[in-house]
Amino acid sequence: MPALEEQDVVTHFIEVDPVATRLQGGDILNPPELVHLALAASGLGGRQAARHEWVSEATVRSHRANTLRKLGAVNMPHAIGIGFSLGLLKLPESAPED
């Protein structure tokens, strides 16, 4: 399998369901929060996510902190698990082609 570019990581490995963004407490993850949750689920750290989205690392930290608060998570791995269990994140139907 050829190496994937950073920008391909999210589209190949994690899909975001924008319909499932309303949470039980009524909070809604906004699009940047969903993107950064998916980037974290894809394995990108803060610096890589910042480069991927053309934002500062402080912006990534802010989106991730908001996501943790809204999901009631203690850390990003916990938030990722919650994201999958709520249907916010899902694995794609098919694997990337070679």
Structural element, H or E, at residue 90: strand 89-90
Top CATH class of 26-90 equals mainly alpha
Q: What is the pLDDT of residue 23?
A: 59
pLDDT at residue 7, rounded to an integer? 45
Distance CA 50, CA 63 (A): 11
Instruction: Please state the domain extents for the chain.
Output: 26-90
The answer to pTM > 0.95 is: no
pLDDT tens digits for range 40-97: 999 999 999 999 999 999 999 999 999 999 999 999 999 999 999 888 888 877 655 6
60-71 tens-digit pLDDT: 999 999 999 999
Q: What sign does the CA torsion over 48, 45, 12, 1 have?
A: positive
